[in-house]
């Protein structure tokens, strides 16, 4: 429950939020700091935590861009998120920060104005068409500086903001993104991008990165809910993580990758480059659940549930959203149940209900809304309790 004064200089917060604010509420802006095509709507984890009590800890072992963690923050609940993808964890870490927007813009300006030459400025036709040389130089300065040190809240905020503006559509008026025309949720592969730009005779505009960061940081960081305890761990959740965690969890709110959806790394290749990765597309599927067969997928997912159980309090609730791709003959309900059966009844299923069709824009449209395959399939929500 939030009320803003007419001049927006003073904020009165009745905290925690008992109901989710309108999607245009300024307190929800931070959650959208960087578009990420596999995000689920904030309403799912927020509503799932409606019965959580003060001080109870929340875990998302497939945290992605940290939507569950931000929902927990809105409810004044401490949380931890786990993901193996560095792009995801870099975005999710920003869901805990509380910087002044002027500090973020000031740091950006200081780095770019500092007289040093980046060690790496990628070369090639893609880079020539994606960014103006001046813009690319500024990006590379920020990239190398944040690679060396991203230990403060301001730096974490700037890094996530940069991931969000690194590529996106061209718009009228002041630029919101730094690239030539490109999707904002995932990066087009180089050859496809080059063909698209050349056929339409599109060339990159010279964009002042500091100007974009100043406007974006003011938009994102002016109104923030109070900070709450928590962190994001970048690790393979198939391996035990109990040694990394000092608490017991009462709530598990998560959404595993859907079977067959294994292109997270390659689809985020440009953001991964900004974080220190290669300037080429990485098609490897390391640190991801095995998608070779439904059986192997369920078995590896079961290992995650076992590792989660190791850090849960008795009676902990797990609410899991799951679905399937139209291109695969897969029953998500059976697959999810199968993954839990491996754990010898440590998890007791209380309810499985229809969650409806994923909203347009919440999932990768080409895979989830393919009309030639009958359109998107309904997702399910499974509610289980830990009885170990």
Which residue intervals of the chain bear CATH 3.40.50.150?
2-85+233-386
Closest CA to 3 of 226, 11, 16: 11
* First CA to last CA distance, the chain: 37
pLDDT for residue 15 is more than 80:
no
Beta bridge partners of 28: none
pLDDT for residue 147 is more than 50:
yes
Residue 345: band (very low, low, confident or very high) from pLDDT cuts 50, 70, 90: low
Average pLDDT over residues 206-224: 97
Parallel, antiparallel or unpaired: strands 11-13 and 312-322: unpaired
Residue 360: band (very low, low, confident or very high) from pLDDT cuts 50, 70, 90: low
CA dihedral 192, 197, 200, 205 (to 10 degrees): 160
* Mean per-residue pLDDT over the chain, rounded: 89
Residue 375: band (very low, low, confident or very high) from pLDDT cuts 50, 70, 90: low
Kindly tell me the sign of the dihedral angle through the C-alpha atoms of 339, 342, 343, 348: positive
Contact between 297 and 259 (Cβ < 8 Å): yes
Average pLDDT over residues 376-387: 89
DSSP result, 209-266: HHHHHHHHHHHHHSS-PPP-SEEEEES-TTS--GGG--S-EEEEEE-PPPTT---HHH
Average pLDDT over residues 243-270: 91
Residue 252: band (very low, low, confident or very high) from pLDDT cuts 50, 70, 90: very high
Residue 14: band (very low, low, confident or very high) from pLDDT cuts 50, 70, 90: low
pLDDT tens for each residue of 131-140: 999 999 999 9
Q: What is the pLDDT of residue 80?
A: 98
- Of residues 362 and 143, more confidence is placed in 143
pLDDT tens for each residue of 93-117: 999 999 999 999 999 999 999 988 9
CB neighbours (10 Å) of residue 369? 16
Average pLDDT over residues 16-26: 85
| pTM of the shown model | 0.91
Region 2-85+233-386: CATH code = 3.40.50.150
Percent of the residues in the chain that have a pLDDT greater than 90, as a whole number: 74
Average pLDDT over residues 349-354: 94
Average pLDDT over residues 271-292: 86
Ramachandran angles phi, psi of 243, nearest 5°:
-70, -20
pLDDT for residue 174 is more than 80:
yes
Q: Give the list of residues 6+ apart from residue 305 with CB closer than 8 angstroms, or none.
A: 339, 340, 342, 343, 346, 347
DSSP-derived 3-state class of residue 294: helix
d(CA 167, CA 178): 6
Q: What is the pLDDT of residue 330?
A: 83
pLDDT for residue 88 is more than 90:
yes
- Of residues 187 and 7, more confidence is placed in 187
DSSP result, 297-321: HHHHHHHHHHHHHTTEEEEEEEEEE
């Amino acid at each position: 429950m939030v009320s803003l004064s007419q001049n927006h200089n003073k904020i009165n917060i009745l905290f925690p939020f008992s109901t989710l604010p309108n999607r245009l509420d300024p307190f929800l802006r931070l959650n959208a700091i960087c578009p990420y095509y596999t995000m689920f709507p904030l309403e799912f984890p927020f509503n799932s935590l409606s019965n959580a009590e003060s001080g109870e800890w929340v875990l998302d072992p497939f945290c992605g861009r940290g939507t569950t963690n931000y929902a927990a923050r809105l409810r004044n609940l401490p949380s931890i998120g786990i993901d193996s993808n560095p792009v995801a964890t870099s975005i999710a870490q920003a869901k805990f920060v509380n910087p002044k927007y002027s500090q973020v813009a000031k740091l950006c300006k200081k780095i770019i104005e500092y007289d040093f030459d980046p060690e790496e400025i990628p070369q090639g036709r893609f880079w020539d068409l994606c960014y103006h040389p001046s813009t690319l130089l500024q990006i590379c300065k920020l990239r190398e500086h944040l690679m060396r040190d991203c230990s403060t809240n301001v730096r974490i905020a700037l890094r996530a903001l940069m991931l969000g503006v690194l590529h996106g559509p061209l718009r009228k008026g002041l630029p919101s993104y730094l690239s030539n025309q490109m999707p904002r949720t995932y990066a087009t592969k180089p050859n496809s991008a080059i063909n698209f730009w050349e056929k339409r005779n599109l060339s990159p505009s010279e964009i002042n990165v500091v100007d974009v960061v100043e406007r974006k940081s003011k938009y994102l960081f002016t109104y923030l809910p109070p900070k709450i305890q928590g962190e994001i761990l970048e690790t393979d959740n198939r391996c035990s993580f109990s040694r990394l965690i000092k608490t017991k969890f009462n709530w598990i709110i998560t959404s595993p990758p859907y079977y067959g959806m294994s292109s997270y790394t390659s689809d985020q290749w440009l953001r991964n480059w900004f974080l220190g990765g290669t300037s080429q597309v990485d098609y490897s599927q390391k640190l991801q659940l095995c998608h070779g067969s439904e059986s192997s997928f369920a078995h590896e997912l079961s290992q995650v549930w076992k590792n989660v159980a190791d850090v849960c309090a008795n009676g902990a609730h797990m609410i899991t959203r799951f679905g399937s791709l139209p291109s695969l003959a897969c029953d998500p309900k059976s697959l999810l149940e199968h993954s839990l059966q491996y754990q010898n009844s440590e998890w007791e299923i209380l309810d499985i209900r229809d969650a409806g069709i994923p909203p347009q824009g919440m999932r990768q449209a080409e895979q989830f809304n393919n009309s030639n395959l009958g359109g998107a399939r309904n997702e399910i929500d499974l509610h289980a309790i830990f009885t170990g």
